[in-house]
Chain A
Amino acid sequence: MTSETEFAIRASGLTKTFGSLTAVDHLDLDVPKALVYGFLGPNGSGKTTAIRLLCGLLTPTEGSATVLGHVVPGDASQLKPKIGYMTQKFSLYGDLTIQENLEFIADVYSYPRRDRRARVEDLIERYNLDQQRNQFAGTMSGGQKQRLALACAVLNRPKLLLLDEPTSAVDPKSRRDFWEKLFALANEGTTILVSTHYMDEAERCHRLAILDHGKKVADGAPAELQAATGMSVVEIATDDTAAVQFELKKLPEIRSITQLGVRLRALIPDSRKNPVAFIESHLSSLALNGKVVQVEASLEDVFVAVTQDDEKLDTAA
């Protein structure tokens, strides 16, 4: 039973269709324990559906998943006490105070009565909610709501936390704080699965899977993914970005090109050797000026590379 000890989540061929739409398409997943594992993908890529499948809220059309040693959705009832779930939309009670919300969640989890008060106090302190303790949850800021939601999700000390775009309504400072909390939890042994469409958040994950149109198009540690794009990334500094972008887009070797202020950033497959020289010669032949340098691939480049790849496959097929 090595799989049970090493992995919090194992899924193979997990598929969910809604009518003609395939929301999750043969997803294979191995999530090691005590790590922060990310789902990176654009809106509608199947992140939420995948998370719902994993906690047993949805029945897969095909395939199966084992979460903390329980087969979902069949054993979902045994799994529920061991997982914490943070929904994309704030799902606590706006007309209850922070303390009342926490006490309600403790009730729902049948948290042992004698430790309940101490646990709620501990969470209020740990998630900096002391000032708002008696404030109605509905009147709180995005960051406060999110801290409360996380406090509720971890109340029963789950072994696995499933967070569905937890930071989408939160300012950058709160996001930083939030991630600190996640790493603290991971250090204590909690496995965390978090979905996001922010690159900087994805970069923070120990490992991540990139989802596109319900399919997993890449997975691994962020650095591994960046190293294995199969793409060279070049930046072109130029006065006439519009003309250069227009001309370069015509080249079949250019996988993608995007503007960053006065610079252009282009992805070129590794099969084309010397990308810098290639671009420079092409530009000079068109009498356009530009200073070309090769740079490290960012996670965004990876994301663009793998998702666009898929689109090209789609149109080719």
Chain B
Amino acid sequence: MRKELLQLKRDKLTFGMIVGIPVMQMLLFGFAINTDVRNLVAGVANEADSHLSRQLIADLEQTQVLRIDYVVASPDELESLLRGGKISIGIYIPPDFDRRSIDARRSAAQLLVDGVDPTVLGVANQIRNLPLKFDTIAGQKERASTFEVRPYFNPEHRSSVFVIPGLMGMILTLTMMLFTAVAVVREREHGNLELLINTPISTTQLMTGKVIPYILIGLIQLTLIMAVGDLLFSVPIRGSILELYIASSVFIAANLALGLFVSTVVKTQFQAIQVTIFFLMPSILITGFVFPFEGMPGIIQVIGEALPTTHYIRLTRGIMLRGATLFEMRMELLALAVFTLIAMVAAIQRFTKRLD
């Protein structure tokens, strides 16, 4: 036992992890996991444009659950904003809104909801009964909800549809990062590296040689996940499969490059695995995989934006579920490419063909 403690004390990284993991976990769980979502981005198409409808929109904003960033003319435009992932909820107020609002059997307006995310759907259900101003007195009267909720992209409310595109990101992050994270340290531990760095091979050759075969493996893995997703869970792929593969290749490369960088920093394979887990945790918690990105505080969102998984999950959900095109989501792809480049350059810089 004494020996274990002594060894632990020598292994600075493991020691850091013992302290770092619980602290980071607490911070992430505490701040990020907030199912009580605020400031969901919304768009409005108000075709009634009456006093009553403007009052309703103002009331909605007052709840602070929604933040109305887009005001458009037609429900079609709301749909396209929804597909591009720009908004989570579209508020459609029909021209006959005032008349509908007196009729207790009909709902007065519609909420067009990105039904993929259960939290967003929950928010929609929560605000659907928002009372109209004039009937606060006659509140006892039984009436239909103010809004009719129309979930898009996932009409059957199946959670697998929400989970699987994110899961793809998760599985690829874990496996790809591990592949390269152990790649360099393994050779160091086995003594292969001492021979290898004594050959004319260049660092760039060595590094790209470690990345390229695994991109292929990653794509095979992706195919497998999608096949299972389709056969067992009937997860749709509404957009282009080719575009999904392109986006995935860049994401896989990003993880491999990150793994490679880790590999140049750590000393043992065990440490490499620890660091990978350290990265995996935020990838689950603050990328929008489980908990909605909008619900997180600003600083956590900034960290989330720096993680490739965040962008990839947006891409997969966009392409697979909403039928978005890569062009519509080009900023996400660009973010992944930039990340890959930075991680790769950092790995090459860190790796020296020396032993000291």
Contacts and interface: CB of A to CB of B under 8 A. Distances in A.
Given A80-B200, A85-B198, A57 B191 contact: no
A92 B196 CA distance: 9
A97 to B, nearest CB: 16
Interface string A86-99: 01011111100000
B143 interface: no
B356 A91 contact: no
Contacts of B199: 80, 105, 108-109
B195 A85 contact: yes
A83 B195 CA distance: 11
Contacts of B194: 57, 85, 87, 89, 91
B200 A87 contact: no
Interface string B178-218: 00000000000011111111111100000000000000000
Interface of A: 52, 55-59, 73, 76-77, 80-81, 83, 85, 87, 89-94, 105, 108-110, 152
A109 B195 CA distance: 12
Contacts of B196: 108
B192 A93 contact: yes
B198 to A, nearest CB: 4
A52 B200 contact: no
Size range of the interface on B? Answer: 10 to 19
Nearest to A87: B194
B354 interface: yes
6 contacts: A58-B356, A77-B353, A87-B194, A91-B190, A91-B195, A152-B195
B198 A83 contact: yes
Main secondary structure of the interface of A (DSSP, over half): loop
B200 A109 contact: yes
Nearest to A85: B198
Nearest to B195: A91
A311 to B, nearest CB: 29
B355 interface: yes
A121 to B, nearest CB: 21
A73 B197 CA distance: 13
B191 A59 contact: no
Contacts of A58: 354-356
Nearest to A82: B200
A108 B201 contact: yes
Nearest to A110: B200
A94 B355 CA distance: 22
B354 A57 contact: yes
B198 A80 contact: yes
B131 to A, nearest CB: 70
A83 B353 CA distance: 15
Given A80-B198, A109-B199, A52 B355 contact: yes
Contacts of B195: 85, 87, 91-92, 152
Pick from A73, A91, A110 the residue with the most CB of B within 10 Å.
A91
Contacts of A73: 354
Contacts of B191: 87, 89-91
A31 B15 CA distance: 47
Nearest to B192: A91
Contacts of A109: 199-201
Contacts of B197: 57
Given A56-B354, A80-B199, 17 more contacts: A52-B355, A57-B194, A57-B353, A57-B355, A57-B356, A58-B354, A58-B355, A77-B200, A80-B198, A87-B195, A90-B191, A91-B194, A94-B190, A108-B200, A108-B201, A110-B200, A152-B195
A76 B353 contact: yes
